[in-house]
Amino acid sequence: MATHPKEIKVAGRTLWTVLIGRPLRSSEASKEQINPFEGLSALSLDALTSVAYGPEAIIVVLALAGAGALHLILPITLAIIVLLAILVVSYRQVIDAYPGGGGAYAVSRANLGANASLVAGAALIVDYTLTVAVSIAAGVASLTSAFPNLSPYTVAICLGILALITVLNLRGLGDSARAFLLPTFAFIIGLLAVIAVGLIHPLGLHQAQPGHSLLSAHGLQVVSVLLILKAFSAGCSALTGVEAIANGVPLFKEPRAKRAKRTELMLGLVLGAMLLGLAVLAHRWHIGPRSQETVLSQIMGMAVGRHWAYYIVSLTITVVLALAANTSFGGLPILGSLLARDNYLPHLFGLRGDRQVFNSGIWVLASLSALLLIAVGGNTIEMIPLFAIGVFAGFTLSQTGLVVHWWRERPPKWHYRAVINGTGAIVTGAATIIFLISKFTQGAWIVVIAVPLFIVLFKRINAYYRSVTAAIGIDKAPPAPEGRDTLVIVPIVNVSKLTSYAISEALSLGQQVIAVSVIIDNADANQQRESTLSEEWEKWNPGVPLQLLHTDYSSIVAPICEFIDEQRAADDRQIVVLIPVLVPSKLRYRILHNQLDLILSRDLRKRTDVVVARVQMPFPPMPPRPDQRSVRQKKSSKR
């Protein structure tokens, strides 16, 4: 039994439906909302897993001054933890004040104006893209540290993980959060257990470490205030992702603000404990940069030894680091929908897909991240200089915006809140400037260019939407609609059932119908076709005139357009071009047709003075071949 064309469409979606799940009704959207624990796996993995590269970034900077400067990791980490506390308190306030999500963008738009909000939006887009790339690259780096033989396949592994995360997020944030819940808590418990063993009784302290030390005998730089500030700003990369919960408040179950604030607090406590524990161990064991091994891998190897526990935790860290990209997939689509709502991005970003997620934001984020991973070869260190600038610019704007918010609203204890946010704005602003200065020549200039380019793009899109609003008179009463007589032009090739089907449809659409056919002159075969077509049309006599259009060229579009111009010059009727299309029962047969409908549709679509439509006639199922019929008859007789 042949498949109906409509069934082909359904059958074609079967694999896609298996991947992303059945379409959800709007009333079922609550199924994709998350609770505080799921919020840790959906929106906090970026921040939690930054312990894999934040402490290392500090040590890499301090190592420039030699082994004698490595002890500074502890006081620098303590300063970062204080900043973390300020940010957690601040973003809990953001959640209360702006429960609609958007984080730095929403706060800046409400308190600092449109231009500041565009800076925040552009910085967040850059940050989200880098978060995906850095998280996946860091996860794969952890994997290749434990299994060096996989190093040549770094980019391929990165892209495979990115594809998996993209599909999971197209299914919905709730599905991805629940899928990541187990590895998230395995990571938290495993790493805290490693830190506890290292603090109480390390098992592999005297084992040989792979690779060789990258510390020079004499420091390349002296320990200075600038070096300490550079190490502090580099270590602040461990704070990326703290804002994601405030950006994604609408993703939580009711009461949303309360659940989001609880998740933010849990994130601060767990992340602070991890950073402090790793800094104490790195200080105690004088951990420095080594070839082919991360700082986190060194600490784990010394704490539990390079046995089964080390490899289990390494694999867990690899998985969770890679899954940390999920934070951006929860934040950027919502940010994109808010920008689209304010006419700064195409409205497509504000449309939900079958699974009640913003598909366009997910696809754009996945594409940008894939390009970045390929460009840097999956190397985390090359992206770190770019990484923290965007997020800290967002931190600074949101903190500053909250100071203005408290000044305007003046709720109880607003002075206390304003001081906290003002302090956070000063510290994060200073970190942003230090990043820009110290990392500018190492790649930070890319962010300096990318953010303004995004802002220009936002403004151009907004200007276009404003011009459209003025042109079509949105929010104004339009004039009363007026009907006109309609002329339907039907391009045909021959007299057939398809022609009859199209003429029948055309007669139901307009007061007058004209069939047209293009004849190419100076060709004997076409002269014969003209005579045959005229005779067949006269014999058939459908009650519709046939107009033969002559041309010396191969194009059939130009003669039809000239005929439309003639009809348009004659009167002001509405003209409809109705193109007959034969739709085969199987997709593979469509390539056997000449696709003239596509050519006509493409060229006529450019005209604004005609309506272009297609009338589709289903092709009847092809009868089975004799050998197939006999086989089927034998099977049915056996039954």
pLDDT tens digit string along 30-58?
Answer: 666 788 888 888 788 888 888 887 888 88
The yes-or-no verdict on residue 2 having pLDDT over 60 is: no
Task: Give the model's pLDDT for residue 141.
Answer: 77
Angle formed by the axes of helices 73-97 and 414-439, nearest 10°: 130
The yes-or-no verdict on residue 219 having pLDDT over 60 is: no
Among residues of the chain, what percentage have pLDDT more than 70? 86
The top-scoring range by mean pLDDT among 78-82, 211-215, 334-338, 482-486 is 78-82
The yes-or-no verdict on residue 231 having pLDDT over 80 is: yes
Task: Give the model's pLDDT for residue 3.
Answer: 41
Number of separate helices (H) and strands (E) present in the chain: 25, 5
The yes-or-no verdict on residue 634 having pLDDT over 60 is: no
The yes-or-no verdict on residue 81 having pLDDT over 90 is: yes
Domains and CATH numbers, the chain: 20-103+131-377 (1.20.1740.10), 486-618 (3.40.50.620)
pLDDT band at 193 (very low <50, low <70, confident <90, very high): very high
Task: Give the model's pLDDT for residue 385.
Answer: 63
Distance CA 36, CA 39 (A): 5
Task: Give the model's pLDDT for residue 452.
Answer: 92
- Segment among 20-24, 78-82, 142-146 with least mean pLDDT: 20-24
Report which of residues 480 and 630 the model is more confident about. Answer: 480
* Alpha carbon 419 to chain centroid, angstroms: 36
Interval 378-397 mean pLDDT: 76
Report which of residues 384 and 362 the model is more confident about. Answer: 362
Distance CA 532, CA 152 (A): 68
pLDDT band at 459 (very low <50, low <70, confident <90, very high): very high
String of b and e for 552-578 (b: at least 16 CB within 10 Å)?
eeeebbebbbebbeebeeeeeebbbbb
The yes-or-no verdict on residue 639 having pLDDT over 70 is: no
3-state secondary structure of 217: coil
Interval 390-410 mean pLDDT: 87
* Predicted confidence (pLDDT) per residue in 481-503, tens digit: 777 888 999 998 888 888 899 99
Q: What is the DSSP letter of 586?
A: S
Which CA distances in Å does 167 have to 113, 133, 319? 36, 16, 16
- Segment among 491-495, 586-590, 633-637 with least mean pLDDT: 633-637
* Alpha carbon 392 to chain centroid, angstroms: 21
Place of tokens 């996946």: 136
Task: Give the model's pLDDT for residue 268.
Answer: 93
* Predicted confidence (pLDDT) per residue in 417-437, tens digit: 888 889 888 988 888 888 788
DSSP-assigned letters across all residues of 513-562: EEEEEEEESS-HHHHHHHHHHHHHHHHH--SS-EEEEEESSS-SHHHHHH
Task: Give the model's pLDDT for residue 216.
Answer: 63
The yes-or-no verdict on residue 300 having pLDDT over 80 is: yes
Distance CA 432, CA 44 (A): 22
Task: Give the model's pLDDT for residue 453.
Answer: 94
The yes-or-no verdict on residue 354 having pLDDT over 60 is: yes
Among residues of the chain, what percentage have pLDDT more than 90? 18
- Segment among 172-181, 339-348, 433-442, 562-571 with least mean pLDDT: 172-181
Across all residues in the chain, what is the average pLDDT?
Answer: 81
pLDDT band at 195 (very low <50, low <70, confident <90, very high): very high
pTM higher than 0.85, yes or no?
A: no
Which CA distances in Å does 44 have to 94, 123, 239, 324, 620? 16, 19, 11, 8, 55
Residues whose CB is less than 8 angstroms from the CB of residue 363 and which lie 6 or more positions away in sequence, other chains included: 166
Ramachandran angles phi, psi of 488, nearest 5°: -105, 120
* Predicted confidence (pLDDT) per residue in 116-125, tens digit: 999 989 988 9
The yes-or-no verdict on residue 28 having pLDDT over 90 is: no
